Amino acid sequence: MSRTKFRIAAAMLGGCVAFAAHAQQGAIDARTFDALTKAQELAEANRFNEAIAELDKLKGSDRLNSYAKSQLWNFYAFIYANQEKYNEAISAYRNVLREPDATDGLKQQAKYTIAQLYFQTEQYDQCIRFMESWLSEIDQPTPTAHIMLAQAYYQQENYDKALTNLDKAIALEKAEGKPVQESWLRLKAALYYAKKDYAKTAEVYEELISIDPAVGYMKQLAGMYSELGRDADRLAVYDAVYQHGSLKSENEVLNLAYMWLGQEVPYQAGRIIEDAIKAGQVEETNKNLETLANAWAQANERDKAVPALTRAAEISGDGIFMARLAGVHFNAGEYKQAAAAAARADQMGGLKNAAGNRLLLGMAHFNAKDYEDALQAFRRAKQDRSTFKAAAKWEEHTLAEIRRLRAIEEAQKALEQRTREALEADENNIDAIDLGTSSR
């Protein structure tokens, strides 16, 4: 039996007790009482059509007073509701309200159940009308009534009234010493989110996590922190989900890595991507390998960045990643390796900035003291307008260095020549001295 059916059944049983008491006092005659009792027994046995037939026999009877009619309609409503004929049930309950001698308790219960049935049939304006009327007539409202109103107002996008009723339900529940139901807090979060009050939404999810640290709640909270620009808090929550082993999709894992990069913690980003690639959770694509290599490069983990870029170059077949590898080697002061990678990138092609790669090639050769190769690279880089000025300056600097080295070389050769000549002169002098001594 559904919750709705159970509540309606409870309402009917309460009505049965009431009409039995009145029957003993003469409010219902014995024949009517027996017929209603028989209908009740048939309904409880799920023989609804037979129960309706019994009630139909009574419906046109002149013996029925207003109170008896209210009980008759109450039975009709109960049976229709259990058959899920909600519109018929609503009509029957509204007939209960029309009977002047229906007890206040029966009318109140009819209003309450009508509100439930209208909610069940998504007629939220009528649900609100009857539930508000019911609440105005009773001394002790129930949390369930306010929750139903909150849900109905939510469906009508009246978020403020929905929140008011939800808070009343929560207050009543706490007053009874009961914990707040998670479904109510989820509704509260949805209401604040609909109002675009992300700070309040985050507070509700924080409360939910204190009750149940479910991954879904954590992800929702991380989303709210993102909306609020609380990137560090978002990262902390998302990382907790990751540590829990609950980031399953490639996008989620990569998002976490990007968050670490955004917080300038590239090593953690690199570790996450590398582990995910090894586990088959993240595909070994050019882009992912590039992100991995960039993370390792930013973390000054050259030994890790080089394999990632090399692998990306192998997969792509173009020179983009080889050019980036040249940059990694260059920044690490590995100029021979940088020159080799830049030259390979130039051969592979597919570069977005081929001239920039040639300029780097020249700089790598220059720093490796391969000046003739550097000159060739700079002269090729001069052919592009974007690198012409820089390449021209490097060419001039390289030529100056070559001239300086040649001048040093020539000076050294001249010095060596003078030294040899001096030594030869000294030897000749010594020989002359020796010959002079011998003559004497």
Least confident of 28-32, 69-73, 365-369: 28-32
Higher-confidence position of 159 and 297: 159
* Res 332 pLDDT > 90: no
Q: Give pLDDT tens digits for 161-182.
A: 999 999 999 999 999 999 999 9
Contact (Cβ atoms closer than 8 angstroms) between residue 224 and residue 201: yes
H helix intervals, 156-265: 159-175, 182-194, 198-211, 215-227, 231-243, 250-262
Q: Give pLDDT tens digits for 286-329.
A: 889 989 998 998 998 988 988 988 888 888 888 888 998 899 88
Q: How is residue 299 annotated by DSSP? A: T
Cα dihedral: 335, 338, 343, 349 (round 10):
-160
How much is the average pLDDT of 262-272? 95
The neighbour count for residue 142, using CB atoms within 10 Å, is 15
Rounded Cα–Cα distance for residues 378 and 370 (Å): 12
The pLDDT value recorded for residue 435 is 58
The pLDDT value recorded for residue 299 is 92
- What are phi and psi for residue 297, nearest 5 degrees? -65, -45
Rounded Cα–Cα distance for residues 92 and 19 (Å): 17
The pLDDT value recorded for residue 316 is 82
Q: Which residue has the tokens 């490639």?
A: 250
Averaged confidence pLDDT in the chain:
88
The pLDDT value recorded for residue 191 is 98
Collect all residues with Cβ–Cβ distance below 8 Å to 437 and sequence separation of at least 6. none
Picking from 177, 182, 128, 199, the residue whose alpha carbon sits closest to that of residue 157 is: 128
Q: How is residue 180 annotated by DSSP? A: P
The pLDDT value recorded for residue 312 is 85
Binning pLDDT at 50, 70 and 90, where does residue 437 land? low
Q: Give pLDDT tens digits for 199-256.
A: 999 999 999 999 999 999 999 999 999 999 999 999 999 999 999 888 889 999 999 9
Binning pLDDT at 50, 70 and 90, where does residue 1 land? very low
Residue-level length of the chain: 440
Picking from 162, 172, 178, 166, the residue whose alpha carbon sits closest to that of residue 138 is: 172
The pLDDT value recorded for residue 133 is 96
The pLDDT value recorded for residue 328 is 87
Picking from 262, 212, 209, 261, the residue whose alpha carbon sits closest to that of residue 237 is: 209
Higher-confidence position of 91 and 419: 91
For 109, counting Cβ atoms within 10 Å of its Cβ (0-12 exposed, 13-18 middle, 19+ buried), the class is buried
Tokens of 297: 């490069």
Amino acid letter for position 205: Y
251 half-sphere exposure, CB direction, 13 A CA radius: 0
Contact (Cβ atoms closer than 8 angstroms) between residue 191 and residue 154: yes
The pLDDT value recorded for residue 436 is 61
